Amino acid sequence: METTPHFVEALDAYLIPGAYGFAAVAGLILLYHEFRIFQIKDYKAQYDYVNLHEIRYFWYAVMALILAVALYINAAASRISMDIFGSKETWFYVRTFMTLSFLVITYFLFYSLVRIYYPRFVEKRLAKLRTKPRISPSGNVMRRLSEHEEEAHLEASQFAEQKEVHTVDYDVWLDDATGYKKIEKYHSYQHAIECSECGYVTMKIASEEIEKAPAASESGLIIKHYKCSYCGHREAKEVVVAALSENIA
């Protein structure tokens, strides 16, 4: 009569609880992330938090879920009689190897999926947070000014930064009733766009250069250099900067 080694029985006893435990961890990670966002009342602060942490927390949750599935499959396999391997101990080592192989394969598979596809959803969430109407201290709904309108409300240093460093952008929100304004700063180099080569949202600004500085009556030209983190594709885009006289309110 075959005797199952004690350590095999001990480890198998923890497989199902471990699977449920990691599944719970995955859910708690996502809930914690959303709770942190809910705690932040300022939309710009929410934007910065999502931009900095969303993909990382989502990846942690995916990893915990992968571990849960791996343990559950291993537990299901432990109940299968595998006489071909001669003993349950041998079958234990075989399914352990299969589980580790599953973890390695799914790690790289989901790592690519998260890196390639999930940024698209993050960018949509960020765009929604950026354009969501702000509320002034007086309780009034504020209006987001157009690019032409906002120039009159920017300080000289902010205006120069936005025009000279094109990866910097400012949004100006104005309470028309009280005159209260809120200025928010954004960095476009932190955000990915769709790559024209592979089609994934994995291309970001690598650098930019001033090809021609704007003059009082003549427009300038900035060249943005992009690089795709997935396929390595590089491309440059020209951005015309309005003449300085056009920027005077």
- Predicted pLDDT at 168: 78
* Helix ranges (DSSP H) in 79-197: 88-131, 147-150, 156-164
Question: Which of residues 2 and 61 earns the better pLDDT score?
Answer: 61
Mean pLDDT of 62-76: 91
For residue 142, the 8-state DSSP code is P
Helix (H, G, I), strand (E, B) or coil at 107: helix
What is the distance, to the nearest Å, from the Cα of residue 199 to the centroid of all Cα atoms in its chain?
17
pLDDT beyond 50 at 54: yes
Q: Distance between CA atoms of 79 and 128, rounded to whole angstroms?
A: 49
pLDDT band at 23 (very low <50, low <70, confident <90, very high): very high
Mean pLDDT of 181-193: 82
Whole-prediction pTM: 0.71
CB 198 within 8 A of CB 227: no
Cβ neighbours around 10 below 10 Å, total: 9
- Predicted pLDDT at 1: 42
Domain ranges of the chain: 6-131, 133-189, 192-249
CB 204 within 8 A of CB 225: no
Return all residues near 186 (Cβ < 8 A) that are at least 6 apart: 47, 130, 168, 169, 170, 171
- Predicted pLDDT at 249: 41
pLDDT band at 244 (very low <50, low <70, confident <90, very high): low
Question: Which of residues 9 and 134 earns the better pLDDT score?
Answer: 134
User: Tokens standing for 55?
Assistant: 């993909």
- Predicted pLDDT at 130: 92
